[in-house]
C-alpha cells in the first residue's frame, strides 16, 4: 500500500514538472501562455510542497530550481571546452564588401549564403548541456576561461533546464543574456519608489545580475537568454541557419529576426531595415552579425588570433552627444606609450555617463585641432569606448590656444621619444617610471599570462607604493607577514595571494614569455618564439637576423625582443625568476611532441576530417615544423583534403601542380 502511494506521489511530481516545463516554454519562449499566471503559481506551489515532503525525488532540472535561493560566495573560474572568440567590427557597407572579398579570395568561386542575426546588447554566456540537462554556465571571461554562474543562469526562465526533442549528447550553446527594455523600466520604477538610484542601462544591469551572490535576487529580474551559436563535436548540423532552427526545437528562445540571405545585397537590405526598425524591438541592439551560413565553409575560413574570419559585426551608427572638454591629461601605459585623455563635462551617452575619452595621439589632436574648453562631439566607438569625433568651432572661446603636446613624461619627467613611423610618443624610462613598472606587473599577473589568483591591479599598486615590490620577480619573495599590515589585507587574503604566486611557477613557457611584457610580443608571437627557440637561453643568444627567420617575426618585433633580452636589468630579473622555479623552457613532453619532420613544408587544410579536427591537424603540422596557410599558392607544398573540399581550391591546386593528400598521409608522416 505504502509503495503504491509513493509511486503515486512520484508520478504526480513528474507530471507537475512536465506540465510546468511546458507552460514555462509557452510563456517565456513562445510568448503564447495557455494558463493564467495564478494557475501557474498554484501548480508551482503544489510541486514545491511535494518536493519538500519527499526530498528523495529531488531533481536539479525541476522548475522549482528557477525560484533561486542558493548563495554563491565566490565564482570559480573554469576553462571553456571551446574558446569564445570576439567578432571583428565593421562600421560601413564598404567594410562589409571588403570582408566578402576576403572570404571569396580564400574560398574561391563557390556559392555563398549568409545568416544575418541582430546583435543584442547584453552579457555573453556559454551553457553546457549533457544528455539533455543543463550542466554548467560560464561567462565569456577572456574567451579561454570564464566564471561559473550556473546557479544564477538556472533562474532564467528562457534557459531550458531539460531539453526537448532530439539533441547531441554534449554541446555548448552560446547566447546573450539580455534585460528587456520593459523589464528594465519596471525595475527602475521600483528602485525610484524605494528612494534608490536607478540603473544606468539594461546591458550593465544584465551583466551585473550574473555575478549577484544570491540567486533569489537574480530570479526576480526578468532576464532572458537569446542563443546565437552552438559548439561541440559531431553535431550533425550543416549550416548556421539550421543550427538556430534546431536550437529552437530543443526549447531555446531563438530570436525570429534571424534571416538567411543568398546574396550580399540581401544582407545590405537586412542591415538597412533593422537600422531603422531596431527601436521597435523589446531589447537593445547595436548592430547585425553576418555569418557565412555553411559550417563547412566556416571551417575552411578558420580564425585569426582573435576572431572568426567567417563572421562580421556590422555596427549601427553610434549615438552622439556634445559636451565641454575641460582638460587634457596624459596617461603612461606599461610599455611607456603616452595616451592623451580628454576629461569631459559629464554627459549621458548610450545609457552611461561619460566623463573621459581617449584622444589617441598627437596626430589625432592636431588633425581635429582639439583644444581645452572646446565643445566637442563624443560618441561610443562600437558603443563601448567613448571617442571624440569633432569640434563645434562655432562655440570655441575667443581666447582659445592650440594644444601643445607634452615633451616630458608626466610621471617621471623623462624626455619623450617618438620613433619614425610610430603614432605614439613613448617614455623610454622603462625601469624607473612608476606606471610602467606597475603596468608590467599587472600584465604579468593577468589571466592570459601568469594568472595569479588572489592578486589584482589595486593590490599591485599598493605593494609597489609600500615598497614591497619593484618588479614582478619581487612577487616570489613576498611573505605573509609582509602583507598582513597592509590596508584591507586579512589573513585569508594574504594566504591566497602567497599560494597564488607559488602556484604560478607551473605556468608553461609560452605564457611566461608573454607575461614578461616585451613590446609587440603578444600571445601568438610568444608561442612562435618559444616553439622556435625551445628555451630562454637560446632566445637570449639570438640576434635580430635569427629572429627574423621565425615565421611572422618582422624587423620591429625582432628589434624589440633583442633590446629587452639584452637589457641588464631584464637579464637579472629573468635569472631571478628562473631561480624561483618559473618555466623558461619547453617540457620534455612538449619537446617530444615537436619534431622537424615537416620542416620547410607549407600546407593548406580544406574540408572536414574523419579522425581529427581542423585545429588539431593545424597544431600537429606546426608541432612538427610545418606551416599552415589559408590560401593556395605556388609556395604551397600540399593541400590536405577532407570531405566537402571546395571545388575552387581543388581546381587551383591542380592548376599549380600542388599535390592533394588525405589526413592519413600526414598522420603517417609524423608517427
Would residue 291 show up in a list of annotated catalytic residues for this protein? no
Judging by DSSP bridges, how do beta strands 638-641 and 602-606 pair with one another? parallel
The H or E element containing residue 97 is helix 93-107
| C-alpha span between 610 and 506 (Å, rounded) | 34
Greatest alpha-carbon pair distance for the chain in Å reads 97
DSSP lists the bridge partners of residue 206 as none
Contact 537, 579 (CB under 8 A): no
CA 526 to chain CA mean position, Å? 19
- CB–CB of 371/325 below 8 Å? yes
Cross-strand bridge partners of residue 391? 376
CA distance 67 to 475: 44
What beta strand segments (E) does 520-661 contain?
602-606, 627-629, 638-641, 660-661
Q: Of the candidates 355, 354, 350, which has an alpha carbon nearest to the alpha carbon of residue 329?
A: 355
| Angle at CA of residue 123, ends 120 and 127, nearest 5° | 105
Question: CA 482, CA 528: separation in Å to the nearest integer?
Answer: 38
**Residue owning grid cell 522548475:** 63
Specify the residue for cell string 538567411. 260
Q: What are 138's three cell numbers?
A: 560560464
For the chain, the 3-state helix, strand and coil shares in percent, each to the nearest 5, are 40, 20, 40
Q: Is residue 302 within 8 Å of 619, Cβ to Cβ?
A: no
Identified catalytic residue from 3, 43, 105, 119:
119
Q: Quote the CA–CA distance of 603 and 639 in Å, as a whole number.
A: 6
Task: Give the number of residues written for the chain.
Answer: 671
Report d(CA 324, CA 309) in Å as an integer. Answer: 40
Set of cell numbers at residue 443: 600584465
Neighbouring CB atoms inside 10 A of 407's CB total 8
Cell of 65: 530550481
Sheet order of strands, 660-661 included: 627-629, 602-606, 638-641, 660-661
Contact at 8 Å (CB) between 178 and 121? yes
**Three-class secondary structure of residue 304 per DSSP:** coil
The residue among 602, 520, 590, 596 whose CA lies nearest residue 555 is 520
CA distance linking residue 445 with residue 521, whole number of Å = 16
Q: Which residues are part of the catalytic machinery? A: 119
Amino acid at each position: 500500500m505504502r509503495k503504491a502511494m509513493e509511486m503515486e506521489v512520484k508520478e504526480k511530481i513528474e507530471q507537475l514538472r512536465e506540465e510546468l516545463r511546458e507552460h514555462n516554454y509557452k510563456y517565456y519562449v513562445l510568448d503564447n501562455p495557455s494558463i493564467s499566471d495564478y494557475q501557474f503559481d498554484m501548480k508551482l506551489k503544489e510541486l514545491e510542497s511535494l518536493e519538500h515532503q519527499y526530498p528523495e525525488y529531488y531533481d536539479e532540472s525541476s522548475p522549482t530550481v528557477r525560484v533561486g535561493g542558493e548563495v554563491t560566495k565566490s565564482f570559480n573560474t573554469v576553462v571553456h571546452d571551446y574558446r569564445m572568440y570576439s567578432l571583428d567590427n565593421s562600421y560601413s557597407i564598404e567594410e562589409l564588401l571588403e570582408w566578402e572579398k576576403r572570404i571569396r579570395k580564400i574560398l574561391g568561386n563557390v556559392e555563398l549564403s549568409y545568416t544575418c542575426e541582430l546583435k543584442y546588447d547584453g552579457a555573453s554566456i556559454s551553457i553546457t548541456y549533457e544528455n539533455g540537462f543543463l550542466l554548467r554556465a560560464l561567462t565569456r571571461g577572456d574567451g579561454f576561461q570564464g566564471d561559473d554562474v550556473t546557479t544564477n543562469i538556472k533562474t532564467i526562465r528562457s534557459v531550458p533546464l531539460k531539453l526537448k526533442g532530439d539533441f547531441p549528447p554534449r554541446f555548448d550553446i552560446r547566447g546573450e543574456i539580455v534585460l528587456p527594455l520593459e523589464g528594465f523600466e519596471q525595475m527602475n520604477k521600483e528602485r525610484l519608489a524605494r528612494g534608490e538610484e536607478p540603473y544606468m542601462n539594461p546591458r550593465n544591469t544584465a551583466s551585473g545580475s550574473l555575478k549577484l551572490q544570491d540567486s533569489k535576487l537574480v530570479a526576480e529580474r526578468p532576464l532572458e537568454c537569446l542563443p546565437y551559436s552552438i559548439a561541440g563535436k559531431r553535431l550533425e548540423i550543416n549550416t548556421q541557419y539550421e543550427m538556430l532552427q534546431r536550437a529552437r526545437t530543443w526549447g531555446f528562445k531563438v530570436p525570429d529576426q534571424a534571416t538567411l540571405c543568398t546574396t550580399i545585397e540581401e544582407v545590405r537590405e537586412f542591415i538597412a531595415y533593422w537600422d531603422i526598425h531596431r527601436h521597435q524591438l523589446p531589447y537593445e541592439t547595436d548592430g547585425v552579425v553576418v555569418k557565412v551560413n555553411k559550417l563547412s565553409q566556416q571551417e575552411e575560413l578558420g580564425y585569426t588570433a582573435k576572431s572568426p574570419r567567417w563572421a562580421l559585426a556590422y555596427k549601427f551608427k553610434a549615438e552622439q552627444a556634445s559636451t565641454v572638454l575641460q582638460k587634457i591629461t596624459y596617461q603612461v601605459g606599461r610599455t611607456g606609450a603616452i595616451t592623451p585623455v580628454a576629461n569631459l563635462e559629464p554627459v549621458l551617452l548610450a545609457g552611461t555617463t561619460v566623463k573621459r575619452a581617449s584622444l589617441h595621439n598627437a596626430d589625432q589632436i592636431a588633425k581635429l585641432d582639439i583644444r581645452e574648453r572646446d565643445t566637442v562631439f563624443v560618441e561610443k566607438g562600437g558603443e563601448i569606448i567613448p571617442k571624440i569625433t569633432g569640434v563645434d568651432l562655432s562655440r570655441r572661446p575667443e581666447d582659445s590656444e592650440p594644444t601643445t603636446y607634452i615633451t616630458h613624461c608626466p610621471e617621471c619627467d623623462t624626455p619623450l621619444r617618438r620613433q619614425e613611423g610610430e603614432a605614439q610618443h613613448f617614455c623610454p624610462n622603462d625601469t624607473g617610471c612608476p606606471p610602467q613598472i606597475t603596468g608590467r606587473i599587472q600584465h604579468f599577473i593577468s589571466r592570459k599570462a601568469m594568472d595569479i589568483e588572489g592578486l589584482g591591479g589595486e593590490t599591485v599598486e599598493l605593494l609597489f607604493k609600500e615598497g614591497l615590490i619593484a618588479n614582478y620577480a619581487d612577487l616570489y619573495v613576498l611573505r605573509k607577514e609582509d602583507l598582513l599590515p597592509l590596508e584591507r589585507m586579512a589573513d585569508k587574503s594574504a594566504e591566497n595571494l602567497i599560494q597564488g604566486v607559488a602556484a604560478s611557477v607551473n605556468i608553461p613557457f609560452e605564457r611566461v614569455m608573454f607575461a614578461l611584457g616585451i613590446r609587440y610580443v603578444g600571445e601568438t608571437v610568444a608561442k612562435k618564439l618559444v616553439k622556435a627557440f625551445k628555451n630562454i637561453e637560446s632566445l637570449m643568444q639570438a640576434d635580430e637576423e635569427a629572429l627574423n627567420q621565425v615565421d611572422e617575426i618582422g624587423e620591429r618585433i625582432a628589434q624589440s625582443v633583442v633590446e629587452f633580452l639584452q637589457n641588464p636589468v631584464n637579464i637579472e630579473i629573468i635569472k631571478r625568476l628562473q631561480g624561483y622555479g618559473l618555466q623558461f623552457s619547453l617540457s620534455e613532453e612538449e619537446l617530444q611532441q615537436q619534431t622537424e619532420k615537416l620542416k620547410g613544408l607549407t600546407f593548406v587544410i580544406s574540408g572536414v576530417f574523419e579522425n581529427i579536427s581542423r585545429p588539431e591537424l593545424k597544431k600537429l603540422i606546426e608541432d612538427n615544423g610545418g606551416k599552415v596557410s589559408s590560401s593556395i599558392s605556388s609556395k604551397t607544398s600540399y593541400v590536405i583534403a577532407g570531405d566537402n573540399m571546395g571545388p575552387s581550391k581543388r581546381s587551383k591546386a591542380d592548376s599549380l601542380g600542388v599535390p592533394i593528400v588525405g589526413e592519413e598521409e600526414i598522420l603517417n608522416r609524423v608517427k
